[in-house]
Every structure is written in C-alpha cells, then in structure tokens.
Amino acid sequence: MPVFDFNNTPDKDKPLTCTYTTFRSDESTATPERPMLVLDNKKRQWKHHSSGFFSNPAKQTTFEFEEEDGIVSADILQIDARFVSLLKWLGGNHIHIRLSGENRENGYAVYKIREIAFGGGTKLSAEDGFLQFMIERLLASNAPEEIEEDEDAEEIGDDMKLTSIQSITDFMTCAGKTLPDNIRLWARRNLAVAKSHEVSPEERRHAQRALSIMMNVQWKSNYFESIDPQEARRILDEELYGMEKVKQRIIETIIQINRTHTLPAYGLLLVGPAGTGKSQIAYAVARILKLPWTTLDMSSINDPEQLTGSSRVYANAKPGIIMDAFSMAGESNLVFIINELDKAASGKGNGNPADVLLTLLDNLGFTDNYMECMIPTVGVYPIATANDKSQISAPLMSRFAVIDIPDYTDEEKKIIFSKYALPKVLKRMSLKENEIILTDEGLDRIIQKHANTSGIRDLEQAAEHIAANALYQIEVNHMQSVTIDAQMVEKVLE
C-alpha cells in the first residue's frame, strides 16, 4: 500500500501570494541558460522530465510535481514576461503537462513545456501542437511593455491554425498581447459575434473565418535588424549585370534601414523596357531584406474589389488579394511586388484599382472590406515595375522613388549572353564548358539577330535554343564538342 507524505502537499489555507518576478527577454529559443521560467529546487532536485500541473490559478505561484512519493509543490521564482498569461491559462484549465528543465544554482530552469494526456482524458486543445504553436508565437514576439494588470479585466479569444472557436479563444487569452491593439480589440468583437446565437449562422461563419485568417498572421513590429551592405552588394552582383545606378540606390536604402531600423518612407518604382530584369531586381531586394514576397499583377485586376475584398453581407464574400497576401506570407512584414503598375488605371469594373493602392503605399494602414479592420502596413515595402511611366497617375508616382532602367547596349548584351545566360543554361543541361565552343563571330551574329529587341529575355531564349541543339548533336550524333559559329547561329535561329 503506497504511503504519501502529506507534508509536501499544497497548503490550502496558505494565502495566494505571488512568489515570482518577471524578466524581459527577446530570445527566440528557450534553453537552460535562457529559460521560460525558474522553479524553486531547494526541497529536492527535480528530474530532467517532470510531469504535473500549475496550481493556485489566481496567482499561478506554484507547480505541483507528480513524484513517486506523492504530489510535491515548488514555488515559481521567475517567469519570462511573455509567458505569464500562458501559465495562468495552463493552471486555470488544469492542463496536465511535462516540463523539461535543468537544475541550476538559481533553481530548476524550464526550457520546454508539453501537454500530455492524463487518465485517458481528452486534452483541452486536442493536440500538443496547439500549445507548441502558442509557445512559438510567444518566443517570436518581443518582451511586453510593463503594464499593471487589471485582474477584473477579461481578455478573450483568438485562434491557431486557428480554425476553431476554442483555439481562437485560447490563443487570445494566452498570446493576445502579441497582436496590435486595434487587431486585439477587433478580434474580441468578432469573437463575440462568432459565439453569439443572436446573429445569423452566416454572420457567425464569416466572423470565424475572418478571425482565423487574421490570427494566423504574425503581426511583427516595424523594427528591422541591420543588413550587411557587403552581403547585399554580393547578392546584387550575383543577380544583375551592370545597373550601377540601381545597385547604388538599393545600397543607399540598406544604409538608411541600418541607421533608422525602419523601412524608407517610399518604395521603389522600376521603369524600363520589357525584359530588362525589373522583376529580378525586386526579388533580389526581398532576398536582401530577408522578407517573404508577394506579387500583384495589375494587368489582371479589373475591379478594386479584387484588392479590397467583398462585404460580409454577401454569402460568397471573401477577402481581397492584398489580405490574402498577408495570409499566405504568414507575417505582416513583406515585400509587395506590384507588376505593371502602368496598367493599374485601366480597370473595367466599378472604380479604379490604382486608387486602392494609395492607402497601401502610404504605410498608414489598409482596410479590407471583408476583414472590416485596419491592417497595419508599416512593415510593407512596395516595389513596382512599369514599362511606361506616363501612364501612371501623379498621386501614385509620388509614392515611389523612381529608378529608370535603360536598355542594354550591344556590348553589355554580349557579356550577359557569354558570361551569364549561356553558362546558366549549360549548367542546367549538364553540359561541360569544353563541349560548347562559342566563337566571336557566332556571338556577334546572335547579338545582331536581337538588335531590335529590348531587354535580355530573347537572348536567354536564344541560349536555351542553341544549347538544346548542341546537346542533341552530342547525344545523337556522338559529337565530342559543338562550335557555335555564325553559320550555326543562322541555321538554329533562322
């Protein structure tokens, strides 16, 4: 018959006093050196993996360890300020968890928390993955500001891969402070609608869908870490040949970010003939900024509603393309690549799609008709491309720093073809350098045949065509090497 030491059980008559202090941390991972919380280990040294519950829900001051000799409680000494609400939620719902920690001089340092089943019962959130999702979000967030807690105030609801009302509510309770103030208030109101039986099922469905979309976006601050200008230059040289003015302007933007730790007030508008690498420049900038990117093809947008979404009064209502972009990226800081901005004014529906872009480009916030909430856009960096800037309205032009990209000269095209386009194709086709011999006459003839075309897209296609023909001769005709001379160019590119 087991004997339990009741001297170690929690004292029911002991007043609920807060034993812990909070500390601020911006670490993105938890380790024994940088733990989520620290427990008192003066009574005994706790095991590496220990199971139990957080108790005293009003203050969350202890953890009840399930030991072989019974329940033993330990005071919480320190908590990472980001995890205070989470521990209250775990204790308030009496969720059975396993801690992973290490005994150190200042206490038992907990660096991992997992939810485990207890007595065959169903776990509150169905999957430990939900708890890990919240912990990831909290670790990715900045330390909260010092705020006096109002114990009478209720903070309700938000979601995870957040589709159910329960998971949305739990997320709002534990990690709601990671959301911008206006979105947190919006989420509370929509959660009330989603739970209400005084509105139609259609309204509840729309509210729940909007919450799920909004909560799955990680709303980051507008603080940007410094970027290595030399690494940025290396990426630009790797992606682009020449274009020194363009590269200089981008490096200036990087230096500005490093000084202010915020994005510039204006995005970039790249204007030039088709095929000059405008989109490639935009992708290179996204790579340098280490941000996800999304594209808006203005030539295919005929109605402003495609960008702003439709009102929830319609049964088939849905968010617009811009909100979808945030949802797909999973975060609020991203590069918006707006292709063919000069086609934005040619909408065939009700209104001008170009007008919708103005609020997005001002970085003051964007309102989606379906979400019914101001979306923060301070972390959005717009890069637009256009062929003809005369077709762009003055208000739109004023939102960008304009960079004119001239067409390449014949000499530049020669270098691009021989040093970039052809080697890239040969590598993709697994052709060795000694299997292809490009003569000066062959190179001159290729450039002559594309003298009246803008950009280098046609040159890249020519490199593909010539390499494919050479590969055919090597594989089928068993030739050791193929010489690209003027005669072959005439024959292949006729």
* CATH assignment of the domain containing 272: 3.40.50.300
Tell me, yes or no, whether 155 lies in a domain: no
Query: What pLDDT, on the 0 to 100 scale, is given for residue 273?
Result: 81
Domain final residue pick, 140, 155, 184: 140
Residues 41, 19 within the same domain? yes
Mean pLDDT (whole number) for 227-242: 86
Residues 292, 308 within the same domain? yes
Mean pLDDT (whole number) for 475-494: 85
- Of 156-160, 202-206, 240-244, 308-312, which gets the smallest average pLDDT? 156-160
pLDDT band at 7 (very low <50, low <70, confident <90, very high): very low
Residues 47, 25 within the same domain? yes
Given a cut of 90, whether residue 281 has pLDDT beyond it is no
Query: What pLDDT, on the 0 to 100 scale, is given for residue 5?
Result: 42
pLDDT tens readout for residues 40-84: 998 889 999 999 888 765 555 788 888 888 888 888 999 999 998
Residues 302, 279 within the same domain? yes
Residues 96, 185 within the same domain? no
Tell me, yes or no, whether 156 lies in a domain: no
Query: What pLDDT, on the 0 to 100 scale, is given for residue 14?
Result: 53
pLDDT tens readout for residues 415-438: 888 888 888 888 888 888 788 888
pLDDT band at 387 (very low <50, low <70, confident <90, very high): confident
Given a cut of 60, whether residue 227 has pLDDT beyond it is yes
Question: Residue 53's domain spans which residues?
Answer: 6-140
- Of 27-41, 104-118, 318-332, 441-455, which gets the smallest average pLDDT? 441-455
Q: C-alpha distances in angstroms, 468 versus 100, 188, 471, 484?
A: 58, 60, 5, 12
Residues 259, 373 within the same domain? yes
Mean pLDDT (whole number) for 297-320: 87
Q: What is the CATH number of the domain that holds 441?
A: 1.10.8.60
Given a cut of 80, whether residue 13 has pLDDT beyond it is no
Number of domains in the chain: 4
Residues 248, 199 within the same domain? no
Domain final residue pick, 124, 140, 156: 140
Return the higher-pLDDT residue of 4 and 315: 315
Tell me, yes or no, whether 153 lies in a domain: no
Query: What pLDDT, on the 0 to 100 scale, is given for residue 160?
Result: 37
Query: What pLDDT, on the 0 to 100 scale, is given for residue 122?
Result: 45
Residues 132, 28 within the same domain? yes
Phi/psi region, residue 261 (left: phi>0; alpha: psi -120 to 50; beta: rest), is left
Query: What pLDDT, on the 0 to 100 scale, is given for residue 34?
Result: 92
Query: What pLDDT, on the 0 to 100 scale, is given for residue 56?
Result: 63
Tell me, yes or no, whether 450 lies in a domain: yes
Query: What pLDDT, on the 0 to 100 scale, is given for residue 153?
Result: 39
Return the higher-pLDDT residue of 405 and 319: 319
pLDDT band at 297 (very low <50, low <70, confident <90, very high): confident
Query: What pLDDT, on the 0 to 100 scale, is given for residue 151?
Result: 42
- Provide the percentage of residues in the chain whose pLDDT is more than 70: 89
Helix 201-215 with 165-175: angle, nearest 10 deg: 40
Query: What pLDDT, on the 0 to 100 scale, is given for residue 328?
Result: 87
Given a cut of 70, whether residue 149 has pLDDT beyond it is no
Tell me, yes or no, whether 58 lies in a domain: yes
Query: What pLDDT, on the 0 to 100 scale, is given for residue 302?
Result: 80
Residue 453 has phi, psi (to 5 degrees) of -105, 145
Given a cut of 80, whether residue 156 has pLDDT beyond it is no
Tell me, yes or no, whether 234 lies in a domain: yes
Query: What pLDDT, on the 0 to 100 scale, is given for residue 194?
Result: 92
pLDDT band at 258 (very low <50, low <70, confident <90, very high): very high
Mean pLDDT (whole number) for 94-114: 91
Residues 108, 188 within the same domain? no
Query: What pLDDT, on the 0 to 100 scale, is given for residue 152?
Result: 41
Residues 267, 350 within the same domain? yes
Domain final residue pick, 156, 191, 215: 215
The β-bridge partners of 71 are: 66
Query: What pLDDT, on the 0 to 100 scale, is given for residue 185?
Result: 93
Residues 378, 264 within the same domain? yes
Mean pLDDT (whole number) for 3-19: 52
Tell me, yes or no, whether 148 lies in a domain: no
Tell me, yes or no, whether 369 lies in a domain: yes
Q: Which of 5-9, 74-78, 387-391 tops mean pLDDT?
A: 74-78
The β-bridge partners of 74 are: 63
Residues 191, 321 within the same domain? no
Query: What pLDDT, on the 0 to 100 scale, is given for residue 2?
Result: 42
The β-bridge partners of 75 are: 62
Structure-block tokens of residue 248: 């200089």
In the block, tokens 């490639």 appear at 280
Given a cut of 60, whether residue 326 has pLDDT beyond it is yes
Q: Chain-wide mean pLDDT for the chain? A: 83
pLDDT band at 364 (very low <50, low <70, confident <90, very high): confident
pTM of the model: 0.66
pLDDT band at 243 (very low <50, low <70, confident <90, very high): confident
Mean pLDDT (whole number) for 271-292: 86
pLDDT band at 206 (very low <50, low <70, confident <90, very high): very high
